[in-house]
Every structure is written in C-alpha cells, then in structure tokens.
Chains A and B, each alone.
Chain A
C-alpha cells in the first residue's frame, strides 16, 4: 500500500465542513444573523410598547412593560408555579407515551406490510378527527385531573410520530438490508443495525414537530375541563378581561416551547452527526 496512497489522501473531501480558506469577513455570517435577530426582536417590542399600545388600547393588547411586570410578580411570589408544573407534567407524560407508542406502531405497520395495508385507512380516519372534539369524551372517561390531559397530548403526538416512523421504516435502502442478510444476520439484528438508524432521521424530525403539539394538547385539555394549569389560568385571565395575564401566560408557554425544541435539536445533531450539517 505504498503507491497511490498519497494521491488518495489528498482526495479526501468533506464539502460541508472544510471550505477553502479565504480571508474572513469582519463579522461571521452567524454573528450577523444573530445581530439581526436581536434587532428584529427589539424593534418589535418597541413598536408594540410605543406605537401599538398607545394607538390602540392597552386594555386589549396590553404592552410589553405591563407583561414584564406581571411576569416579574409571578416569578417572585410563585403563585403560578403549581400551574406551570401541572401543565409541564401532562405535556411530558403525554409526549413520552405518544412518542413511545408512535415509534412502536410506526415500526410495526412499516415492517409488516399486511398490517400496514389493513390499518392505514383507519389511522388516517382517526387522525382526521379534531382532537379538541374528543375532549368531552376524555373528561367523561377520566375525570378532570391529569389523565384526560395526558391522553389529549398523547393522541396528538402519536399520529405525527407514528406516520413519520412508518415512512422512515419503509424508506430503508434494501441494499443496506441485504448487506446484513449476506452476513447472516437475523431479523432482530437487521432492525437494530439498519432499520432503526436509517429511520432515525425521520423519527427525530417527528419528535421535533410533535413537541409544540404536546404543549397545545396540554393547554387545550386544561381549557376544556380543569381547575389548574397554564391553560386554565389563561382562560381565567380571559374571563376577567385581563389581557396582560393572557399575554404573560402565552410568553411562558412560548419560552418553554422554544427551549424544548432547542433541546431536541441538540440531541438530533449529536446522534445524526454523520449527516452534512447546516440543513
């Protein structure tokens, strides 16, 4: 292995990662993007505070300063903490159940062709049901505590994850499967070594998409029937015409949603580091 080796070593490439070295601009593109983001955020807040709020009526659209004060009050006296925890509980438990069941069912209907062919229209039919409309049923079955909210969350998350997993499992390159079969692998090994890793891209994408749905499910569940939770508090603030309270609740939900999405993205980037970055 002496000759030809040097030539091939220089042939290594990774077009995504290693770019030809050039003179660097003063600010890297990432910094520029971040600066513009901060600028956009600040401009929006200022517009709301100094133009929209005075021009319209703070009674209807509140204002950033009022919302900030309210958030500060909530943070210091901690009245909202139990509600917050309650909502997070139903979000997480429902998300975990929905994702677990979704991945498992996606695998089954993806791998077992007959099962998939038979069940597909039923899944489609169930998925087309507006889940909100099932709320009263969930309440009837499970009462008004955590369980109906968990079910609401899981029912939303499940279909997103299931249909993606199914697509990912069916998308597996048969050549990869044959590599293992030729080496004498059994079905279980094929599942672990080829089907799961190659469907992982799809599964991660669905975990990300499903996350906002989990929050939506939890809040909707609380709005349908509850005496606790962020959804209940927002509904309550609406009832007493407190727009600041509504907005403050929304801000909290938004921050939670962003943080969780970011967390999943990090997880994905780590486990999918074999793929070209920057998509």
Chain B
C-alpha cells in the first residue's frame, strides 16, 4: 500500500548534482514492519523524507493506498532523526501536540499523554522542558509524540540509535507490543542489523550512495517476538551474518 515506483531523488548543489536515491521500486504491504539498512549517508533518510512528503521525487511516483501522493499525507507519521521537540513546550505538551490539533477534550489528551509517556518511561518528566531532558529522553518523547496519534503508517529514522543497549531492547519491546496491538505499517531505518532482524517482517538492504535496493530479505521468525530473548539467538545471528555479507562490499566502498 506504500509503493515506490522507480523513485529517484537528486539534489543540486552549486558545484554538482547529487543523486541520493536511484530508481528505487519497492512495495510495502499494509501492517508490515519493514526495516531499511544500508551504509550511513546512503540516502535512506531521503527516501523516508520523500514518503513523508518533505521531498519531491525527481522522477518516479510514490503511491499510498494506490493513490498518487504529492505533498503531506496525514496518514503517515514520521519520527525524524533531527531533534524537533518544541523547546517552548514541556515534554507532555509536546507529546500531546497531535491530539491538540484534533481538538480532543483536555481530559482525554491528558489521559493519553500520561499513558504514552509511561510507555516510553517518561512518566515523571511530563513538566520538564526539552532542554532539561537528556538526549535519549528527548528521542523517546519524540517517539511518544508520533505514536500517540496512531497514524496508519509510521516512518522512523534511527529512533533508538542514541539509546544504550538495555534501553534499546526495552524500547524495541514496547514498539513491538504497540505494533501487535494497533498493527500500523512501520518503516524503520537502523544501523543495527540485529535490531532490524529482531523487529522486521522484511529487511531492505540498500547500496551505498546513491541508494539502490540491493536485496530484500524476509524474516520468518515467529511472532510475537521478545527482543530480550531473540536478540542473541542463533537464528537472529545467522540472518545477521547473511545481511552482513550483503553489506560488506557496500561498506568498503563507503569507507574508501
């Protein structure tokens, strides 16, 4: 239902043209959990930006539910990599932002904010301003801000990248629990292969820039999955090894 058809994105700088995404064709099925992996700077973020409507593809089309999309799409939530909590709002006011836009009654907003802030472990930090939170806490608040309005599709750009290992596992579990319940479509960019395998139905491996699809790997591990358990399991490790082989050449190119 989210279809990229021959999508390319080029940026023009004063000196040269940079191709960030190169003829990507990809179908993401409804209610699937899809992870993007690939060398850093390869153009995964640009692809997400295009899906969210922040960037127009230079060629190709993006369809959502079969309809051509230009500009912003309310049904797609996006947790960007850049920090975008509003500094003049408290954590709770930031998290409740989308509900405010929907003009929900105050009591319902408060109740849901409370629930989602507990979910990301920030229950006691509702009245803190972003500058009073640590980097990891700000990431989690940003997640709650998108999760709370339960968009049909959620794009997430390395949401757990800045978190320590324990917190990351715990957040993965929260995310999977949430997803088992509301079954949104999720596109999740990560560097962490084990994370991708733990979470995803499909892992899409990208080449180094410009981003082309190198392989799509279906992960058949049974659900519901428990990240604590399977993170270090043999199955996950062996799929990671497989993915790593695909990535290795690309990484070598990037480093050179």
Task: Specify the chain B residue showing the minimal Cβ separation from A173.
Answer: B84
Task: Confirm or deny: B37 has a beta carbon within 8 angstroms of a beta carbon on chain A.
Answer: no
Q: Which residues of A contact B174 (CB under 8 A)?
A: 1
Task: Specify the chain B residue showing the minimal Cβ separation from A183.
Answer: B98
A66 CA to B2 CA in the complex, in Å? 83
Which of A5, A12, A183 makes the CB contact (< 8 A) with B134? A12
> Is there an interface contact between B164 and A7, defined as CB atoms closer than 8 Å?
yes
Which of A1, A11, A182 makes the CB contact (< 8 A) with B76? A182
Interface residues on B, range: 35 or more
Whether A13 touches B132, Cβ cut-off 8 Å, given contacts A182-B76, A197-B86, is yes
Task: Confirm or deny: B239 has a beta carbon within 8 angstroms of a beta carbon on chain A.
Answer: no
A11 CA to B137 CA in the complex, in Å? 9
Task: Confirm or deny: B256 has a beta carbon within 8 angstroms of a beta carbon on chain A.
Answer: no
Whether A8 touches B72, Cβ cut-off 8 Å, given contacts A13-B132, A175-B84, is no
Q: Which residues of B contact A1 (CB under 8 A)?
A: 118-121, 170, 174
Q: Smallest distance from the beta carbon of A195 to chain B beta carbons, Å?
A: 12
- The tally of residues in A whose CB lies under 8 Å from a CB in B reads 34
Q: Smallest distance from the beta carbon of B186 to chain A beta carbons, Å?
A: 15
For chain A, residues 3 to 54, give those with C-beta under 8 angstroms from any C-beta of chain B: 3-5, 7-9, 11-14, 17
> Is there an interface contact between B54 and A178, defined as CB atoms closer than 8 Å?
yes
Task: Specify the chain B residue showing the minimal Cβ separation from A182.
Answer: B78
> Is there an interface contact between A197 and B137, defined as CB atoms closer than 8 Å?
no
Q: Smallest distance from the beta carbon of B72 to chain A beta carbons, Å?
A: 5
Q: Using an 8 Å CB-CB cutoff, how does the interface string of B144-168 with A read, 1 for contact, 0 for none?
A: 0000010000000000000110110
Segment of B10-18, B20-28, B123-131, B193-201 in the binding face: B123-131
Task: Specify the chain A residue showing the minimal Cβ separation from B90.
Answer: A274
For chain B, residues 72 to 99, give those with C-beta under 8 angstroms from any C-beta of chain A: 72, 74, 76-78, 80, 82, 84, 86-90, 97-98
Task: Confirm or deny: B215 has a beta carbon within 8 angstroms of a beta carbon on chain A.
Answer: no
A183 CA to B102 CA in the complex, in Å? 10
A176 CA to B149 CA in the complex, in Å? 18
Task: Specify the chain B residue showing the minimal Cβ separation from A273.
Answer: B129
Whether A176 touches B137, Cβ cut-off 8 Å, given contacts A182-B52, A183-B149, is no
Q: Which residues of A contact B100 (CB under 8 A)?
A: 193
Task: Confirm or deny: A2 has a beta carbon within 8 angstroms of a beta carbon on chain B.
Answer: yes
Task: Confirm or deny: B133 has a beta carbon within 8 angstroms of a beta carbon on chain A.
Answer: yes
Q: Which residues of B contact A274 (CB under 8 A)?
A: 87-90, 129, 131
Q: Which residues of B contact A225 (CB under 8 A)?
A: none
Which of A5, A184, A200, A272 makes the CB contact (< 8 A) with B72? A184
Q: Smallest distance from the beta carbon of B146 to chain A beta carbons, Å?
A: 9
Whether A11 touches B119, Cβ cut-off 8 Å, given contacts A4-B166, A179-B84, A184-B101, is no
> Is there an interface contact between B97 and A193, defined as CB atoms closer than 8 Å?
yes
Q: Which residues of B contact A180 (CB under 8 A)?
A: 97, 101
Task: Confirm or deny: A189 has a beta carbon within 8 angstroms of a beta carbon on chain B.
Answer: yes
Task: Confirm or deny: A115 has a beta carbon within 8 angstroms of a beta carbon on chain B.
Answer: no
Which of B80, B88, B90, B101 makes the CB contact (< 8 A) with A183? B101
Q: Using an 8 Å CB-CB cutoff, how does the interface string of B98-116 with A read, 1 for contact, 0 for none?
A: 1011000000000000000
Identify the A interface with B (CB < 8 A).
1-5, 7-9, 11-14, 17, 173, 175-176, 178-185, 189, 193-194, 197-198, 200, 272, 274-276
Across the A-B interface, give the 7 residue pairs with the lowest CB-CB distance, nearest first.
Answer: A4-B167, A184-B74, A11-B134, A1-B121, A4-B166, A14-B132, A274-B129
